[in-house]
Amino acid sequence: MIIRPRRLRKNEVIRNMIAETAVNPDSLVYPMFVVEGEGIKEEIASMPNQFRFSIDEILKELESCVAIGVKSILLFGIPNHKDEIASSAYDKNGIVQRAVRAIKSKFPALYVITDVCLCEYMSHGHCGIIKDGDVDNDPSLELLAKTSLSHAEAGADMVAPSDMMDGRVAAIREMLDANGFSNTPIMAYSAKFASAFYGPFRDAADSAPHFGNRKSYQMDVRNGREALHEVELDLEEGADIVMVKPGLAFLDVLRQTAEISNVPVAVYNVSGEYSMVKAAAKMGWIDENAIIRENLIAFKRAGADIIITYHAKEVLEKGLV
């Protein structure tokens, strides 16, 4: 035998020397939930160690996050008021807008990305205006664009539309540019699948649809080629970053997206992926830290530049990457 790959696996020094993949801690984005009220830090039952914070509490929490090296958060709002036109999504004094102002004034260097969607703000829990029992695409675009603008005005560093309406990147770009925010980037949830892996998030954000499902706007999990079409459209419409979501069950799509994209690629390690790791760890069935690390490496190896993950804080705290 001449060729023996095991020669380069002999010890840790040589293994580290030839390691192809490393996760950059600065590429981790930490998703967080903010609610109305004061003094609230409520653990999300299906997502151990993730919380709904009121603004005063999120400021306290961010103190420790920033201290351990969290550079960026993805913010989700849970409003008190929901209606048929998602009016608190684009209210200047909505929960996200107030939270962003408070966060940016206390932590100007923290990079704040806002999730732009309407489902948390709609009484029916869908991601757009309902007409004849389905989400009506084009009228929803205006609300998404208005919401993005209100986030930018509040001081958001980047907006991230997660609704999967056709044409929303262009609509948001146009609205931002017309109002002096041509330098605010858009991270598009481009290949977002209608996935059961979002289950725990919908508990967390109280955003489950009250009738039907999201399959008429989010992608069919069986389709890979269609995901690339979505990515191409978002690139044409001016997306600054494209995203694949969920991550683990869609690594093939992530790899293909990384191959065709000429902008950075993000992956969302979603709630269900997080909760499964936490549940198995709690049962004592897996080595939690090793699994988290392996998952993050898988995203990186598949081509992700940015990893959005609920594990971000613990990864930095424990020095897992």
Give the residues lining the site for ligand PBG (CB under 6 A). Answer: 115, 117, 119, 127, 162, 198, 201-202, 207, 214, 270-271
CB of 47 to ligand PBG, least distance (A): 8
Q: How far is Cα 46 from Cα 276, in angstroms, rounded to an integer?
A: 10
Residue placing its CB nearer to ligand PBG in the complex, 65 or 219: 219
Residue of 104, 131, 215, 245 with catalytic role: 245
Q: Which residue in the list 10, 82, 146, 192 is annotated as catalytic?
A: 192
Query: In terms of C-beta density within 10 A (0-12 exposed, 13-18 middle, 19 or more buried), how is residue 281 classed?
Result: middle
Q: CA-CA distance, 304 to 231, in Å (whole number)? A: 14
Nearer to ligand PBG, 183 or 239 (CB): 239
Which CB, 265 or 270, lies closer to ligand PBG? 270
In the complex, the smallest distance separating the C-beta of residue 277 from ligand PBG, rounded to whole angstroms, is 13
Backbone angles phi, psi at 187, to 5 degrees: -100, 110
Question: Torsion angle, CA of 17/18/24/25, rounded to 10 degrees?
Answer: -50
Q: Tell me the closest approach of the beta carbon of residue 118 to ligand PBG, in angstroms.
A: 8
Report the residue closest to ligand PBG, judged by CB.
Answer: 201
CA distances from 241 to 34, 36, 244, 307 (A): 24, 30, 10, 12
State in angstroms the smallest separation of the CB of 127 from ligand PBG: 5
Whose Cβ is closer to ligand PBG: residue 23's or residue 116's?
116
245 in catalytic set: yes
The yes-or-no answer on residue 313 being catalytic is no
Please choose, from the candidates 184, 180, 147, the residue with its C-alpha nearest in 3D space to the C-alpha of residue 163.
Answer: 147
Instruction: Report helix angle 288-302 to 271-282, nearest 10.
Output: 150
Q: Which residues are catalytic?
A: 192, 245
